[in-house]
Amino acid sequence: MKQLLNSAKTTGVLRSRLLTGVCVLGTVVLLAACANTSNARYYTLTGPTASALTPPASATPLFIELAPVAVPERLARPQMVLSKPAGQSAELELLEQYRWTSSFENEMRDALSAGITNRLGAVDVSKSGRSQGQAVWRIAVQLRQFDAIENTRVDAAFSWTARRSDTGSNAVCQWAGSEAVGSGMDALAQGAQRITDRAAQMIAQHLATLATNPAAPCPR
Residues 97 and 70 in one domain: yes
Domain housing 106: 42-210
- The pTM score is 0.80
Domain presence at residue 175: yes
* Residue 136 · residue 63 · CB < 8 Å: yes
Whether residue 18 has pLDDT greater than 50: no
Whether residue 72 has pLDDT greater than 70: yes
Q: Give, rounded to a whole angstrom, the gap between the first and last alpha carbons of the chain.
A: 89
At 82-116, the pLDDT tens digits run 999 877 888 999 999 999 999 999 999 999 999 99
How many separate domains does the chain show? 2
Residues 93 and 35 in one domain: no
CATH number at residue 129: 3.40.50.10610
Q: What angle do CA 85, 87, 91 make, to 5 degrees?
A: 65
Compute φ and ψ for 166, nearest 5 degrees: -90, -30
Residues 107 and 59 in one domain: yes
Residues 102 and 150 in one domain: yes
Span 65-85, mean pLDDT?
A: 96
Residues 98 and 35 in one domain: no
Q: What is the length of the chain? A: 220
Domain presence at residue 117: yes
Residues 60 and 22 in one domain: no
CA–CA gap between residue 115 and residue 107 (Å, rounded): 12
* Selection from 162, 196, 190, 161 nearest residue 176 by Cα: 196
CA–CA gap between residue 66 and residue 71 (Å, rounded): 14
Residues 62 and 168 in one domain: yes
